[in-house]
Chain A
């Protein structure tokens, strides 16, 4: 086990160009999709779909272009902690703005 862990830590993973081409294609499809969806009237779903597509694209970039999928646990934990921290801050801020004047309108 320790031999295996050491092995993993000491190797630098080279991501294949094939993966990069596939991700580029997925990102371009995502861009086309989000532009197309913005012209269709989906009411309250328009922003939700746009943000969902953006999050998917960002995840693809982080995992493959930024190699997080192939990185050490330390890197994965660092990125995860950053995302979690950001989501916590933004949801607490928005919750405050939404509820501050609750009932007084």
Chain B
């Protein structure tokens, strides 16, 4: 690719180091070279992401199995979710992945103000996602769709009394199947909740990175931290890319 040059990064940035000319200050002594260090850290980050794949994979598997068992309950449950809100959240998260990718590019090409701007945008888009999630959760709380002692079956036993169920043309479920909607919402809260926890952790790290980036920490050729955080952020985006169709979209008919 002519427009995206490959550069050996950081090798000659040793001005702050006492070993000027030998190696940069951020090179740990147990690595042979900056490239060795960067490659090792990124490999480690990918191994961590694989454990995350297994973690979310367990939740996805549980969802698939229970959806097959209690299909009518899962259809009725998913009709309670708002596609416009879920779609808007998908839009926010994909855009935040883009701003994060641009942030990595800014760090690589040593554009400090660009990096700060990208991180702030990613931070704001992430908060926007959580804001919309809060609106969705509060609606579930109001309708007593949170699993537990106060769980209400009304939307499923008497769909005519519930706007969302009526709009989807739901038929009343028999009592035993209606009870299984609680399984749907348990998985809904477990999966979107764990995803939201990952978002909150990501946003907290982004806040820290914005200050470090302003101090010029990531624009000296040492981009591993920004790059690895980018991997984490994109992974969280991928989880949502699968959650959105599975929870919101596939049970409309």
Contacts and interface: CB of A to CB of B under 8 A. Distances in A.
Contacts of B230: 65-66
Interface in A16-34: 16-21, 23-24, 27-28, 31, 34
A11 B35 CA distance: 7
B35 A66 contact: no
B245 interface: yes
Given A66-B234, A90-B60, A34 B245 contact: yes
Contacts of A37: 249
Contact of B94 (A27, A41, A50): A27
Given A31-B87, A58-B238, A14 B105 contact: yes
A75 B42 contact: yes
B61 A90 contact: yes
A78 B33 contact: no
B253 A14 contact: no
Q: Which of B42, B101, B253 counts the most chain A CB atoms within 10 A?
A: B101
Interface residues of A, number: 56
A16 B39 contact: no
A103 interface: no
Given A16-B4, A20-B102, A72 B65 contact: no
A46 B65 contact: no
A89 interface: yes
Contact of A41 (B231, B234, B253): B253
A78 B250 contact: no
Given A11-B6, A61-B238, A97-B68, A35 B61 contact: no
A79 to B, nearest CB: 6
Contact of A65 (B3, B101, B244, B246): B101
Give the most central of A16, A64, A81: most B CB within 10 Å: A16
Interface residues of B, number: 57
B200 interface: no
Interface stretch (B43-51, B157-165, B211-219): B43-51
Contacts of B53: 82-83, 86
B141 to A, nearest CB: 26
B237 to A, nearest CB: 6
A11 B43 CA distance: 16
A12 B35 contact: yes
A11 B4 CA distance: 12
B120 to A, nearest CB: 17
Given A41-B253, A75-B43, A15 B4 contact: yes
A31 B38 CA distance: 34
B253 A31 contact: no
7 smallest beta-carbon distances between A and B, as pairs: A50-B245, A38-B249, A16-B4, A82-B50, A47-B250, A24-B98, A11-B6
14 contacts: A12-B38, A12-B108, A13-B6, A15-B101, A19-B4, A27-B97, A34-B245, A38-B248, A51-B242, A54-B241, A54-B244, A61-B238, A62-B234, A93-B61
